[in-house]
Amino acid sequence: MHTLVTGGAGFIGSNVVRLLLERGHSVTVFDNLSSGYESNVSEQDVRLVRGDVRDYAALAEAARGAEAVFHLAASVGNKRSIDDPFGDTQTNALGTLHVLEAARHAGVRKVVYSSSAGIFGELKTLPIAEDHPIDPITPYGVSKLAGEKHCLAYARLYDLEAVCLRYFNVYGVHQRYDAYGNVIPIFATLMLRGEPITVFGDGEQTRDFINVRDVASANVLAAESVGVNGAFNLGSATAISINDLVRLLGRAVGTPARLAHGAPRPGDVRDSLADISAIRTALGFAPAVEIEPGLGEYIVWLREELSGQ
């Protein structure tokens, strides 16, 4: 099938692109390259369209002929959204509406939307199932929830299927340092440079880290499924403390971290753990990459990436 991947030159998007090509699908990548890298897809057989999801006309042109759309383009992160709530909402909420309208008019069969566990806000129960109360506490959580609701409404209104994947903490190859981003690339980059890292809070807070190869697999399973609509948690179903993560990263890097502690950050939850039974049942998804070998693979890639800078 022909596919369109918004944000396809980014961290997760480029991994989705790779898997799509491996499975014999054709791919158009739509990316403004604000956080993506052309080098992530330049060696792959894709059509790259440089554009922004806030530009409906460009997006509608790129969607022509697509059977499935993977919508990964986003302004990502709680802190970024707090710093720039207008930009967050324009990209994530309005941008998603543009994607859905472009998909509808192009006759797309399936939209796979990258959502976030940030829609849940402060957690009441663990593990987190899809019916956990939804109460986002940052503009990012609100905008990703708005995108979800638009997708599911379009699936009810039009001849268009939609699957929303609520990502927990994704890590892996092609994830570069970003002060707004995931803790793993921040810590790993600083540790490889021999610089100190800061753990916010006591470090006993827990996260559900899922490797990007598993995320790509879930995206492709969602697109290839027929008759499946809805929102699904996407995590590893395994929790690890930040302190244990630091120890595993030190083992992968070969040097223990130089560690400092800072005050807890606004918008951060204490604990996180996904219940993935719904996506197992609906799509047959099961995570395949465990955290320690996944971190080892990532450090090998990142070390090479940093050596070329």
Q: Between vectors from CA 88 to CA 221 and to CA 108, what angle results, nearest 5°? A: 35
The rounded distance, in Å, linking the Cα atoms of 223 and 86 is 31
Q: How many helices and strands (H and E) does the chain possess?
A: 11, 13
Q: Report the b/e string of 182-216 with b at 16+ CB within 10 A.
A: bbbbbbbbbbbeeeebebeeeeebbbbbbbbbbbb
140 counts as catalytic: yes
Q: Which of 140, 154, 167, 171 is catalytic?
A: 140
Strands in 161-167's sheet, in edge-to-edge order, are 47-50, 26-31, 2-6, 68-71, 110-116, 161-167, 230-234
Radius of gyration for the alpha carbons in the chain, expressed in angstroms and rounded = 18
261, β-bridge pairs: 199
The rounded distance, in Å, linking the Cα atoms of 208 and 61 is 37
Q: Which residues are annotated as catalytic?
A: 140
